Amino acid sequence: MAVQTVLGGMLAWVSDPDPGAARILTHHHPEVPNLGDLTAVDWAGVEPVDVVVGGYPCQPFSTAGKRKGTADARHIWPSIANALRVLRPRYAVFENVAGHLRLGFDTVLADLARLGFDAEWCLVRASEIGAPHHRQRLFLLAAAADPDRLGSDGRRARGAGRDEPAPHRLAPAHTGREGLEVRRVEPHRNERQTAQRSGGQPPADPNPGGRGTHQPHLRPGQPDADWGRFTPAIARWETILGRRAPGATDTRRRLNPPFVEWLMGLDAGHVTDVPGLTRTQQLKALGNGVVPQQAEAALRMLLDRATHQEAHP
């Protein structure tokens, strides 16, 4: 979602063997084929694309796991590297947990360099773009160091010519680079840290009156709740998203999937209205996801950095 927002284009295919995630993808993109388990895909027969996007499993690197790294059976990066070798995309965008920086990331960077990609990466918290939770994630942008090598197996050359854009080519823009639009977006910094660094005071509570304060720009209909000390953070995210927070728990006092969906910055029902999903599948998909606004801010910064590097090597 973030890559499409920043770069444009449309999905050519997806690859996800998880039943719940696959159902969500099919619901939103019914015409897009799902290749299933990417470790079993013959990439030579897959349509080339301009951008490859992936959030490969974090369990090998997460501090919450056994931290087996590249020795973990769930470490599928070698299969992704193989896909990049065959597909030769212009860009690749990946996301993982911050712990990946200390475990296994050197292998990723070495493979990307061997395959002819330059890499930029950063850590961005969801809270830096206004979300009421930290959710720090690692974002990686790989750009083909030699664009002339794109599709070196000849499949692109047999396709559309320069005057006839391929079906999934990125939309033209105005940055001096064909098909790319870069806009600098500075994410919100942690308010208290920003105030301390600048020697000033933290910004005023965006909703000093609590949930009962009239906010006409917010869509009505969601239940009110007493969020206690979390009220400013909840109110900030409500303002950014333009809608009230759903109740945090359901009628059985369990975590409410629509509330998690809201925390993740998704439109209401993006996951919870998908037919046939169990509550467990909903929470698994949401828990494994990324706040799109967070990924968008990270991608814009990485593109800006990559563009600056090209202009000033």
Q: What percent of the chain has pLDDT over 90?
A: 58
- Residue 171 confidence (pLDDT) above 90: no
C-alpha distances in Å from residue 197, one per residue of 125, 190, 194 = 18, 11, 5
215 residue type, one letter: Q
The pTM for the full model equals 0.78
- Average pLDDT in the chain: 79
Element (H, E) at 264: none
Q: Tell me: the pLDDT tens digits for 287-298?
A: 999 999 999 999
End-to-end CA separation in angstroms for the chain: 31
**pLDDT for residue 260:** 97
Band of the pLDDT at 100, cuts 50, 70, 90? confident
Q: Up-side HSE of residue 95: CA atoms within 13 Å toward CB? A: 22
Q: Which region, left, alpha or beta, applies to residue 178 given φ > 0 means left and ψ of -120 to 50 means alpha? A: beta
